[in-house]
Amino acid sequence: MTGNARPSSALDPAIAARLKRDADGLVPAIAQQYDTGEVLMLGWMDDEALHRTLTTGRCTYWSRSRQEYWVKGDTSGHVQQVKSVALDCDADTILVKVDQTGPACHTGTRTCFDADSLPLAQ
């Protein structure tokens, strides 16, 4: 993906100016269940995906593999209804608190972080 491959965005310039993006113009976006605090998944947003998320109330991500925008739940029905959006202190990560319908993970599990717990040294 190149920065020129995606359309310009209507994201509020004050928000856009704060974002710290990677070399591909993306910011990691963590989806968290708003009422339980459960971490559901990590996706990637550019300015336009963030703009769409803020204005539609549905999580929109940039798919690095498909090179296109995708709205969580459009094909699966596993919708993420946005409750709040926040930037971390460095503005290099987005936290989206959502009400998740069904599984968040493409494997069919509730969260992308429940299948492979790593052992801690004792």
Residue 31: partners with Cβ closer than 8 Å, 6 or more residues away: 39, 40, 41, 42, 43, 59, 72, 80, 96, 98, 100, 104
Distance of CA 85 to the CA centre of its chain: 10
Distance of CA 27 to the CA centre of its chain: 8
The pairing of strands 94-100 and 27-33 is parallel
Beta carbons of 70 and 53 less than 8 angstroms apart: no
112 is in an annotated binding site: yes
116 is in an annotated binding site: no
59 is in an annotated binding site: no
What are the binding residues for Zn(2+)?
A: 89, 105, 112
What are the binding residues for Mg(2+)?
A: 88, 90, 92
What are the binding residues?
A: 88-90, 92, 105, 112
